Chain A
Amino acid sequence: MKSIRNKLAIAACTVLSQGAQQANATEIDTSYLFYSEADDRVTVNKIITKTKTPLGDNDVISLEAVYDTVTGATPTGAVKSVSTVSVTTPSSGGSGFKTAAGTPDLVEFNDTRVGIDVGWVHRHSRTFKMNYGASVSLESDYESYGGSLIFDKETSNRNLTFSAGIAGAYDTISQRSGQTPKPMGDVQENSGNPEFFGKGNKRSYEALLGISSITNRRTVTQLNYTISSTEGYMTDPYKLISMTDSGGVEEKRYYESRPENRLQQTLYSALVHQLKNKNTIHLSYRFYLDDWDITSHTFDYKHRIKFTKNYYLEPHIRLYTQTAADIFQSSLDNNQPLPEYASADYRLDEINSVTLGTKFGMPAWGGTLRFRLEYLYQSFAEAEFNTNKAVIFQASYKKEFN
């Protein structure tokens, strides 16, 4: 009897170690994303392919390739001007920007991005594995190189997994010309007598501590703590900030300026639970804190409604709220000296955001097909553009090959 029980245990462990993937099956997941913002702002078309290949019993190699095209227009941070403003500084793929009097300031751009992520998971023993990762992301005005190392240690009954990891990244940033403007430099002066520097760079160091737990036979929970320290050039070389008079009328424009250090921390918790009707809920909450005075809360809830085997509908809601960064100012006061750091980037403003959508999954051609349609609504407290509305469509297909 004990022998049968042991054999069952070994069999179950083998199944668990493979997760939802068949033994020795190569899994290919391919996805297309269409992201489009209202008012002819940003449009993104993205293709992603992710391959996961087991090598023997103890190793899994993964490769993820991403190709993005980004077009449209994005707010510069400047306020509505009273006269037409024309600046020859090249935007990301654009030829500069020209803003008619009285219209909000947008800069047109286009760019492409290629990204490669490589991962290797090696199981050293029944309860211990290591995850090695490397990534490269290339754009005309941004390059990123990163690496990561994560340890996963399970308890002997494999109901608890402890994770610890470190990661690092080196990024270079510039305008498309390969230059970066002087932080808090006067835009109009620069267009005639440019004061630009070479490429900026920044270095990021991350650490992770996590625990995931099988709470009962239908529930899994997770708790992660991450800390990230970044130093170097974190200014957005395209973003501007207006200096205005007491009536809010623009007098001058400056390039923004951000601090050279940032410490970010997150506490992330997640719960996955299968209800008695076989539907599954995914619930997560993230608390975020950084030393730019930003605090945020993110709630995410997905409810997978299973119709028959492999057919499902998954409604999704995401709620997000963020305080403004201490460097955020919608404009500069002409009665005050220029600050060392200031940004009117709407992403550093106080934000409230909601995402609503649903995903449909079905079997197709021996794999699974998923379609997702979502609507994102963001509101900003003080930024010149006080809302952002976007549609997200994603179609994905996954199949395993023996």
Chain B
Amino acid sequence: MLLTTLQACAAFQTESVKPWQKGVLTEEAMQLDADPIESYVDDHIYFSKEASTGGRGIGGGGCGCN
């Protein structure tokens, strides 16, 4: 966990990324929304069970969920 945390700190090292250096960024796991259908389901569940909603985006259908 500590190692992961330390490695994750590398995420904040900024660099100018050239187009040919973006190979990793095209991987599915590297997308901001790596599993849209899972995000859709989660948004629906938590919209139905909590008072907060939104953040990731806007639009989409509402529901009268219990």
Contact = CB atoms under 8 A, between A and B. Distances in A.
Nearest to A280: B29
A12 to B, nearest CB: 4
Given A16-B25, A20-B26, A304-B29, A146 B59 contact: yes
A220 B63 contact: no
Q: Chain A interface mostly helix, strand, loop or mixed?
A: strand
A275 B7 CA distance: 6
A222 interface: yes
A219 B12 CA distance: 8
Nearest to A292: B51
Interface in A7-30: 8-10, 12-13, 15-16, 18-20, 29
Interface in B45-66: 45-46, 49-66
Contact of B64 (A15, A141, A286, A288): A141
B15 A42 contact: no
A123 B31 CA distance: 19
Chain B contact-residue range equals: 35 or more
B2 interface: no
Interface string A132-170: 010111010110111110100000011100000111010
B32 A220 contact: yes
B58 A268 contact: no
Given A150-B58, A268-B56, 4 more contacts: A8-B20, A216-B11, A274-B29, A288-B53
Interface of B: 4, 7-8, 10-32, 34-38, 40-41, 44-46, 49-66
29 contacts: A13-B19, A15-B23, A20-B28, A29-B37, A48-B40, A50-B36, A115-B63, A117-B61, A135-B59, A135-B61, A136-B61, A139-B63, A142-B63, A144-B61, A144-B63, A148-B60, A157-B18, A208-B57, A216-B17, A217-B21, A218-B25, A226-B57, A272-B34, A273-B11, A275-B7, A306-B29, A312-B29, A320-B52, A322-B52
Interface of A: 5, 8-10, 12-13, 15-16, 18-20, 29, 31, 33, 35, 42, 46, 48, 50, 64, 68, 70, 74, 92, 109, 113, 115-117, 133, 135-137, 139, 141-142, 144-148, 150, 157-159, 165-167, 169, 171, 173, 204, 206-208, 212, 214-222, 224, 226, 228, 238, 264, 266-268, 270-276, 280-283, 286, 288, 290, 292, 294, 296, 298, 303-304, 306, 312, 320, 322, 325, 347-348, 351, 353, 359, 370, 372, 376, 378, 388, 392, 394, 396, 398
